[in-house]
Amino acid sequence: MITTSGNRGDTVRSDCHIALTIHKTGGIKINIKSKVKSLFGKSINDLCSIILAHFDIENAFLEIDDQGALPFVIAARLEHAIKQQVNTSKEFLLPFYNDNYSFSTTDKIRRSRLYLPGNNPKLMINAGIYGADGIILDLEDSVAPEKKQEARYLVRNALRGLDFGSAERMVRINQLPMGLEDLKFIIPHQVQLVLIPKCENSDQIIQVDEEIKEISQCNNHQILLMPIVESSLGVINAFEIAKASKNVVAIAIGLEDYTADLGVQRTEAGTESFFARSAVVNAAKAAGIQAIDSVFSDVANINALTDTVQKSKAMGFEGMGCIHPRQVKIIHQYFAPDISEIEKAQKIVLAFEKAERQNLSVVSLGSKMIDPPVVKRALKTISQAESLLLIEKEWRKNHE
């Protein structure tokens, strides 16, 4: 029996293809085909020998077609090939990258979330330099059905070994119930946020929440959730979904599937999705979580992206998805508070603080009254501006 894993071909980079045959006798034989064999052939051979020994395999023929794969990729590909023949609960886990132990926070800024296909290491290895607020290792739409299982091993190893920089470590699981199996590969390995696609009701959130608790064996787990509503039913149930768990920190909308569900074409103007996007924003605000817009699929049209981001922010969204690193800069630029917003927020906060010091029950700025929701929004703008280093934390000193 020969089992295979990985990818090969003229366009494949930073990956490898593995073919494994387990025998009853003959010892271990490893054949490595690689352009960098003279430099890394021994280290590849040693790693594979260690993995085979870890799974108690003493007799096997292993062929590796390497295209510059890093150790975390080779290890994932070989483990997947082994487990197609060997029934074992063992895992081969490489060490964690030092910065990959942290949890995320509810109020983290999530202007951009960049999707990276979960079975393509070429795009993963530079995750830390893209500058996105969140990096999504995707197990759903970007992975072919026959590649789902091997992608799980690759995403697991990536979570442990890659440098994500300051980006939130996210994984989009598959649509339930398949996605519940995905959780076993990511929850023990420091994923910070799980995206739940095609979410249509609160029961799906509860299922994910309970499965995470069982896997992590912790009732107070810090793994956050972002459901994605992608159908008319999901939109109608958006508030129910948003309130389903304290671990839900944001709710997103996926417009490609939503418009397909309606039986209409997605347009640049977005009139066909205005109701759905408004419903998601209102559900998020009512639940006290973040509203996240859909991806913008026309990578080459930066002008249209700019217009979309501005409209998205005006509707109340706090971020959106992106499918190419070049979109990150535009999304960050237009979702950040501008100078006029910051200055207005500063005036409101200063007026409110002055009124508090004077024990005034009424707060006004010029001829306009300032009520608590306005102050809350101003404080949020200030907090975001400080986090993005647009103003100093000691900005009040310049207004004394």
Predicted pLDDT at 98: 87
- How do beta strands 224-229 and 134-138 pair? unpaired
Q: What is the dihedral of CA 163, 216, 246, 374, to 10 degrees?
A: -20
Three-class SS of residue 169? strand
- Residue 105 pLDDT more than 80? yes
Tokens coding 305: 């992206």
Work out the percent of the chain whose per-residue pLDDT is above 70: 98
| Cβ(252)–Cβ(228) below 8 Å | yes
pLDDT bin (cut points 50, 70, 90) of residue 302 is: very high
| Cβ(224)–Cβ(194) below 8 Å | yes
For residue range 316-359, what is the model confidence (pLDDT) as tens digits? 999 999 999 999 999 999 998 888 889 888 988 888 888 878 87
Total residues belonging to the chain: 400
Residue 189, number of CB atoms within 10 A of its CB? 19
Handedness of CA 293, 299, 302, 307 (dihedral sign): negative
How far is it, in rounded angstroms, from Cα 112 to Cα 292?
9
* Mean pLDDT calculated for residue range 84-96: 96
Residue with more model confidence, 1 or 30: 30
- Residue 233 pLDDT more than 80? yes
Residue with more model confidence, 44 or 363: 44
Three-class SS of residue 139? coil
- Residue 121 pLDDT more than 70? yes
Predicted pLDDT at 154: 98
pLDDT bin (cut points 50, 70, 90) of residue 219 is: low
Read off the pTM. Answer: 0.90
Predicted pLDDT at 272: 96
How far is it, in rounded angstroms, from Cα 33 to Cα 63?
8
Q: What is the distance, to the nearest Å, from the Cα of residue 390 to the centroid of all Cα atoms in its chain?
A: 25
For residue range 137-177, what is the model confidence (pLDDT) as tens digits? 999 999 999 999 999 999 999 999 999 999 999 999 999 99
- Residue 262 pLDDT more than 90? yes
* Mean pLDDT calculated for residue range 370-397: 84
Predicted pLDDT at 21: 97
Predicted pLDDT at 341: 87
**Which CATH code for domain 112-335?**
3.20.20.60
Predicted pLDDT at 354: 83
* Mean pLDDT calculated for residue range 209-218: 90
* Mean pLDDT calculated for residue range 106-121: 95
Please state the domain extents for the chain. 2-83, 112-335, 339-399
How far is it, in rounded angstroms, from Cα 110 to Cα 112?
6
* Mean pLDDT calculated for residue range 378-390: 86
Cis peptide before 71 (omega within 30 of 0): no
Predicted pLDDT at 364: 74
| Cβ(3)–Cβ(33) below 8 Å | no
* Mean pLDDT calculated for residue range 237-249: 97
Cβ neighbors of 362 (< 8 A, separation 6 or more) are 355, 369
- Residue 362 pLDDT more than 90? no
pLDDT bin (cut points 50, 70, 90) of residue 361 is: low
How far is it, in rounded angstroms, from Cα 365 to Cα 37?
71
Three-class SS of residue 207? helix
* Mean pLDDT calculated for residue range 171-190: 97
Main-chain phi, psi angles of 126, to 5 degrees: -105, 20
Predicted pLDDT at 352: 84
Q: Is 316 left (phi over 0), alpha (psi -120 to 50) or beta?
A: left
Cβ neighbors of 101 (< 8 A, separation 6 or more) are 190
Predicted pLDDT at 400: 61
- Residue 368 pLDDT more than 80? no
**Which CATH code for domain 2-83?**
3.30.230
Tokens coding 347: 């005036």
Average pLDDT of the chain is 93
Which residue, 212, 239, 84, 234, is CA-closest to 146?
Answer: 84
- Residue 75 pLDDT more than 60? yes
